[in-house]
Amino acid sequence: MQLGYVSVAVLLAFALPEVGGGPRAHRESVAPLLLGISGGLISFIALVFSLLFLVVQHGNTAFSPRFTLFRDAPIVWHSFSYFTAVLVFCSTSAVRIGPDAEDVSAAVPIAAVVMVLVALGLSRALQLRALRSLQFNDSMEQIRRRGEEVLSSIYRTTSGCRPPVDAERPPVVTEVRWQRPTTLLTGIDLRGLLLEARRLDAVIEMKPMIGSELRRGLVVAEVLASAPVDACRVQRSLATGTDRKFPQDPLLAFRLLGDIGNRAMSLAVNDPATCVDALGCIFDLLAVVIDKQLDFGTIADEDGTARVHLSLPTWNDFLAVAVDEIAHFARRSPTVEARLRDLITDLLALAPADRRDDLETRLVSLTHTTTGRTSS
């Protein structure tokens, strides 16, 4: 991204001074203007991003170490790239004019001033975004919105639809083991995996879920084929990193909201109202998937042949991440415990028959906990 912005800036720096027509400006006034803007932008970039580093640190401590929405926001990286491009344009244009030129096209200083004004507007938008990221409600709403986008894109089929039935499978001939340091599975190139399975006339079964760890020496995939396969070709379809990413991770939003709720319930913070707000967002996300088909991990190719099996979270996995940890800490707060009971009760009103048992078990556990505390 930065290379693209800088490349455009260099092209403009070489092209604009060569404009022959139109008004002209004296070199003695244009060159100091460009150099002054270049020097000021260095301090400007340092000031803006030093403030942003504080915002990232606040998010890690107040919300969750996994809270990277602001750090990964496109506006952050586009802003840094644009500021750098303006710096490069001004400094390169000042050198390009040269000491022998008497005048230069007025397009050069006009472009520099316009770029600076755009940079100021961009920095204002960036800082307003940073200020909103310091607020719990706005951050939780961002998490809820991103989580709903991911869940709606992954889970589209209503519960009760039968998953595709696999044809007769060939024997397991290859186990793909992770031979690198422990990392997180952040995504799967499903198209590439399907093409590889079709090329091999094989079925590829992925073992870890997206967002889980890939540990050295453990099996990450089983390839069912009639001949040995190259494990490296399968591993190329796996995206890894140190942080979980939203696009393919259905549990990440629940993890972040759970972290916020758990921190709010800690003895150091003791802010049950924030936990109640987090439970409201958790309810909205659980309501998105409560009636959806969750076990659709069998992916077929264009001919309808099952080629890839993905490991996807079950309904109990969603509840374990979204509810169980907060329920453990909620014993210290009647307000949070009551909100958690209301959440489960409301979900029971929406749940199909096959999703009710897990909810009722948790509701009974909360009721017994409350009754035992009251009796004591």
* pLDDT per residue as tens digits for the range 232-284: 878 888 999 888 899 889 999 999 999 999 998 888 888 889 999 999 999 99
For the chain, the domain total comes to 2
Range of the domain at 85: 2-134
- List, in order, residues 6 or more apart from 287 with CB less than 8 Å away: 347, 350
pLDDT tens digits, 281-338:
999 999 999 999 888 778 887 777 888 888 899 999 999 999 998 998 888 888 999 9
Task: Show which of 134, 157, 177 is a domain's final residue.
Answer: 134
| Torsion angle of the four alpha carbons 66, 145, 48, 114, in this order, in degrees rounded to the nearest 10 | 150
Q: Are residues 229 and 310 both part of a single domain? A: yes
Q: Are residues 86 and 149 both part of a single domain? A: no
- Global pTM value: 0.80
Could you tell me if 224 and 171 are in contact, meaning their C-beta atoms sit under 8 angstroms apart?
Answer: yes
Q: Are residues 65 and 177 both part of a single domain? A: no
pLDDT band at 54, cuts 50/70/90? confident
Q: Are residues 157 and 253 both part of a single domain? A: yes
Could you tell me if 67 and 139 are in contact, meaning their C-beta atoms sit under 8 angstroms apart?
Answer: yes
Q: Are residues 130 and 147 both part of a single domain? A: no
- Higher pLDDT, residue 70 or 144: 144
pLDDT at 128 over 80: yes
Q: In the predicted model, what is the mean pLDDT of the chain?
A: 85
pLDDT at 118 over 90: yes
Copy the structure tokens of residue 166.
């696999």
Could you tell me if 153 and 195 are in contact, meaning their C-beta atoms sit under 8 angstroms apart?
Answer: no
pLDDT at 2 over 90: no
Could you tell me if 225 and 174 are in contact, meaning their C-beta atoms sit under 8 angstroms apart?
Answer: yes
Q: Are residues 122 and 178 both part of a single domain? A: no
- The per-type count for the chain, helices as H runs and strands as E runs, is 13, 10
- List, in order, residues 6 or more apart from 281 with CB less than 8 Å away: 140, 141, 143, 144, 147, 257
Task: Show which of 96, 117, 134 is a domain's final residue.
Answer: 134
Q: Which H helix or E strand runs over 187?
A: strand 183-188
Q: Are residues 231 and 355 both part of a single domain? A: yes
Task: Show which of 111, 134, 157 is a domain's final residue.
Answer: 134
Mean pLDDT in residue range 126-135 = 83
Q: Are residues 235 and 341 both part of a single domain? A: yes
Q: Are residues 213 and 320 both part of a single domain? A: yes
Q: Phi and psi at residue 198, in whole multiples of 5°?
A: -70, -40
pLDDT tens digits, 335-367:
999 999 999 999 999 999 989 999 999 999 887
Q: Are residues 225 and 288 both part of a single domain? A: yes
Q: Are residues 130 and 256 both part of a single domain? A: no
Of residues 244, 256, 249, 246, the one with CA closest to residue 322:
256
Q: Are residues 8 and 104 both part of a single domain? A: yes
